[in-house]
Amino acid sequence: MRWPSVTAAAVVVVAMAMSAPGAARAQPEPPPPAGEIEVLERAPAAFGPKIEIERIDVVGNDYTDGELIRGRLQVAPGDVLRVGDPRLRDARFHVLSLGFFRDVEVTLGKGSRRGRVILRVAVVEQGTFVLRNLFLGTSEATPWWAGIDLAERNVFGSGLQVAGTVAITAGSRVAPADVSLEEAGRQYAAALSVSDPSVYGSRFGIGGDLLWVESDEPFRVSGSFDDDSPEGFRNFRIRRIGGRARTSWELTPLSRLAMAYRFEVVDSEPPASPTRAGSDGVPAAVDLDILDGRSRVGTLAVRYERDTRPDPLLPNSGDRIELSLEVGGSLFASSYDFVTATARYRRWFSVAGPAHVLSFAAAGGVILGDAPRFDLFYVGDLNRLLRPRIAGLIVSTRPSPNVFGAAADEALVGELAGRAEVEYAYRLFRRSGLIFGGDVFISAGVFGLASRDQARVRDEGLLESLPVDLTFDAGLRLDTEIGIFELSVGNAVGRIQP
């Protein structure tokens, strides 16, 4: 999450944390009573003495339905199994995967007679009302923008998740391509998401999203590539309304496979023959990657995700991988035929003690075919020093700094993208209260973004001609009752442009 200043961020964090419903954190449970057999994740294998589950006790769940937790255990009272059974060994991870708890401990205690045991699940709840993003800022192209992204991850303790996003901008300083309009209008975006990642405590999840966007897409018509002056760009309007239906399946306690069908109706108003004035005075045609008038986007997407981090907010070990493939075409009622493939990986290591964390990350993607403009990779989503999209809205025309002189400032959007970076984080504190942890961090890396024309028309090999640039960030991350807050150089630069 990005903030313009440390002072403003601190005020909002405290205010929102104090007013967030359901934000009170349960205190850790006392140690298990004498006679506990062992913490189950330490059981080495599926062998050992046979036991019968007499009952399952759930403690610490002041808000979450106990039956929801029991449904994730994959064992029930009356089951006969061995102490080292994988279902017991993985029980903690199954409960943690719900996302409602900061910690879970699963132990076995003595039952009413020999051979019987009591399965005890002690949970430490965390606030489920989350401020996922706060949109505030200004740029040379957009006088101001504002918005908010909120989520309730456990509605009434049922496991149902609801999220909503709204965003609005001032009228753009970039002139509209339609000469009949004197000035560009405001941009708007709204989204609503409802999902149940564990239906009746099972491994099966369902969800759905609704989306409405009125955006102005900028494209260059004159000036050098390193000039972000609004006079060198024109805007054209795109209206989108649609949704997505999602299903998922938990393959293991740490991995999930998801599938989604997306459908949107798009109305666009691009200029008839857009051109850009070249340095030699000869105008060059500009491909806006959008169909004129009404069109449709229909896609089927598959995503695989594995996350082994013990702490997903401020991790010091583990890794996370995400692979996705999205296909659009007439088979899915789409006016656009394209394929988008992306991959992301990050690994965390503790070095010289748990307070020092080093992480390496790599990501890449390619788009084949004719994807709509709003589906292309955007430079602000790759470079930490630029402003990313705001709920699907582009609010800045600033190009990448082009530190390496590799033409990285030539493309705002493209079909080929990649990024690699390394980050060092130092643990400042971990505690209970409104703010649970804080890390200072510094990161640096490189990224590349190329349009289809840049990748196709070149006089060198692809790797040599790929536009690459430097990305950098440093600052403070805070783990709070209502989410992660990041106060950093990249936030300040991306939100407030001179």
Which of 91-95, 178-182, 436-440 has the weakest average pLDDT? 178-182
Task: Say if CB 42 and CB 66 are below 8 A apart.
Answer: no
**5 vs 229, more confident:** 229
Q: Where in the chain is the domain with CATH 2.40.160.50?
A: 6-20+127-495
According to the model, what pLDDT value does residue 498 have? 54
**463 vs 127, more confident:** 127
**By three-state DSSP, how is residue 66 classified?**
helix
Average pLDDT, integer, range 410-426: 94
Choose which CATH entry (2.40.160.50, 2.40.110.20, 2.40.50.140, 1.10.3720.10) describes domain 6-20+127-495.
2.40.160.50
Asked whether the whole model's pTM tops 0.85, one would answer: no
Per-residue H/E/C for 266-330: EEECCCCCCEEECCCCCEEECCCCCCCEEEEEEEEEEEEEEECCCCCCCCCCEEEEEEEEEEECH
Summarised one tens digit per residue, pLDDT across range 58-70 is: 998 888 888 888 8
Confidence of residue 2 (pLDDT cuts 50, 70, 90): very low
State yes or no: pLDDT of 225 exceeds 70.
Answer: yes
Instruction: Count CB neighbours of 149 within 10 A.
Output: 20
Q: Are strands 318-328 and 338-350 parallel, antiparallel or unpaired?
A: antiparallel
Average pLDDT, integer, range 472-493: 89
Summarised one tens digit per residue, pLDDT across range 316-344 is: 899 999 999 999 999 999 999 999 999 99
**189 vs 311, more confident:** 189
With vertex at residue 441, the alpha carbon angle to CA 436 and CA 444, rounded to the nearest 5 degrees, is 150
Distance (Å) of CA 269 to CA 1, 176, 185, 238, 353: 33, 10, 13, 7, 57
b/e code 300-335 from CB counts within 10 Å (16+ = b): bbebebbbbbeeebbbbebbbeeebebbbbeebebb
Task: Say if CB 215 and CB 284 are below 8 A apart.
Answer: no
**341 vs 15, more confident:** 341
Percent of the chain at pLDDT > 70 equals 86
Average pLDDT, integer, range 122-151: 90
Which of 118-132, 404-418, 462-476 has the weakest average pLDDT? 462-476
According to the model, what pLDDT value does residue 25 have? 35
Percent of the chain at pLDDT > 90 equals 49
According to the model, what pLDDT value does residue 354 have? 85
State yes or no: pLDDT of 7 exceeds 60.
Answer: no
Phi, psi at residue 278, to the nearest 5°? -80, 170
Q: Where in the chain is the domain with CATH 3.10.20.310?
A: 40-125
Mean pLDDT, the chain, rounded, equals 84
Distance (Å) of CA 6 to CA 19, 463, 484: 20, 40, 14
State yes or no: pLDDT of 490 exceeds 80.
Answer: yes
Ordered DSSP codes for 103-114: EEEEEEEE-SST
- Which one-letter amino acid corresponds to residue 119? L
State yes or no: pLDDT of 47 exceeds 70.
Answer: no
Comparing CA positions, the residue from 367, 312, 314 lying closest to residue 338 is 367
**By three-state DSSP, how is residue 90 classified?**
coil
Which of 43-52, 130-139, 157-166 has the weakest average pLDDT? 43-52
Exposure on the CB side of residue 486, measured as CA atoms within 13 A: 20
According to the model, what pLDDT value does residue 455 have? 67
Indicate the fold that domain 40-125 takes in CATH: Ubiquitin-like (UB roll) (3.10.20)
